[in-house]
Structure 1
């Protein structure tokens, strides 16, 4: 994979995504869930909320970069707050 610029942050990003997917798979097997309806008025499962969180976090980071709000690591804090809100209310 010499064609791709693997840096430490890139590797960490993919490892975290893989760990999340594995964790949520184990949770789904060990603790089956029933969909719930949140503020979006659609039924969502844990996996749906994870997808919404990851998609929203990507947009938060792109907006953060585009508007030059501040240092990029602070965007992680915004993403964590967003993730907590999604898993609580969506």
Structure 2
């Protein structure tokens, strides 16, 4: 069975996975350049940069799913709000 027959590789899906890969590469290089220091921000636990990235990606996914289920507006608004949430968690989480 060919990979393309059971996975819907559309342009948005490819862009999504490429962005995740770029984020992981950038975070790895950032970690090598400047090792992370665990800190407590707005989240009720001590986190590192990688923890905040993971939590932020989950938040963005849940926002996007909620946007899809609650409204009929353009999905790009859900993407934008999720990205703002991701940036917020990375900065202040």
TM-score using structure 2 length: 0.89
Q: Partner of 2:53 in structure 1?
A: 50
Measure how far apart 1:41 and its partner are. 2.9
Aligned to 1:88: 91
Tell me the equivalent position of 1:24. 27
- Rounded to whole Å, the distance in 1 between the matches of 2:91 and 2:18 is 25
* C-alpha displacement of 1:75: 1.1
The 1-side partners of 2:27 and 2:89 are apart by 15
Which 4+ stretches in 1 moved above 2 angstroms? none
Q: CA RMSD in A?
A: 1.2
Q: 5+ residue gaps in structure 2? A: none
Residues paired across the two proteins, number = 90
2:83 & 2:72 partners in 1: Cα distance? 17
Give the structure with the larger strand fraction. 1
If the length of structure 1 is used for normalisation, what is the TM-score?
Answer: 0.92
Q: Structure 1 unaligned runs (5+)?
A: none
